[in-house]
Amino acid sequence: MKYIAIILLVALGVYLYKRAQRLAEEELKQDLNTPVEKEIFDSASAEDIQDESHAFSGDTAKAEKVEVEEVSTPADEGISFETKEAPKVQAEVVKSEPETDTPAEPEPEPEPEPEPEPEPEPEPEPEPAVEDTPVVATDESWQNAKLSQALSDYRGSTGKAVKHQALLGAIAECYKQRKQLEYSAYGAGLTAEYLSVFAELESPSSEKGVGFMHLSTLLNDNGRFDSAIGVCQKAIEYGVLDGTVTGFEGRITRIEKAKAKAAK
């Protein structure tokens, strides 16, 4: 733009200068045919026009000088500054094009989480079964007279009630002598046999629960806690009592505490 302005100013100056010369020549031609006063007036006018043309040409020269000085300004104040900015803008455009043209990769769909398998319902714990450990005939010379007689009556009788009373007497004697290991272990071994005899009675629920009470204690003393709890549960099923305030339920609680203590 500055170069164009300089060219236009130079062209305008040349045009005005030639126009002034042409007018001057025309005036000179007219002076030959006009009176002296007219010549003086016209010559003055020509001089004024010539002065104006000289002044205009001087202004034109000054303008050219100014434009040349502007062109020779430092690189950081003019055209060179603009030329530095253009590549930067172009680089930014080129740099941004791949971002706009490159299609965004679709995010992978998350895999569906496997449904948790339903936890199996815990199976109810089976009730502790009474261990079926029948007494094996061994040397019975250690037995006292009461136990020997009770066992003899039990083995020799045939009636259900008589057999029950005889076996109940043998268990009671083992319970009394439970401080001695032989009596305690022997009495606990009569558990399965007593439950079988008790189940054959005509009216088990009308009987007392003394036999169940003695057997649960003997089993507990021998560390057979589950069997002792099973005997108490059988007594509860029959509806018999042990003669205590808490009954067989309280006895089960005490046996469980003894079991937990022994497990430590």
Mean pLDDT on 203-210: 92
**Within a 10 A sphere around the Cβ of 256, how many other Cβ atoms?**
13
pLDDT in tens, 47-57: 554 555 454 44
pLDDT of residue 163: 95
> Ranked by mean pLDDT, which of 36-40, 75-79, 106-110, 197-201 comes out on top?
197-201
pLDDT in tens, 209-233: 999 999 999 999 999 999 999 999 9
**Percent of the chain at pLDDT exceeding 70:** 59
118 compared with 219, residue with greater pLDDT: 219
What confidence tier does 253 reach under pLDDT thresholds 50, 70, 90? very high
Q: Which phi and psi (to 5°) does residue 33 adopt? A: -105, 5
At what angle are helices 181-189 and 210-221 packed, to 10 degrees? 120
Residue 94 has pLDDT above 50, yes or no: no
CA-based R_g, the chain, Å: 67
Residue 39 has pLDDT above 70, yes or no: no
CA 139 to chain centre: 70
Mean pLDDT on 175-193: 96
What confidence tier does 113 reach under pLDDT thresholds 50, 70, 90? low
How many whole angstroms separate alpha carbon 184 and alpha carbon 101?
95
How many whole angstroms separate alpha carbon 117 and alpha carbon 247?
44
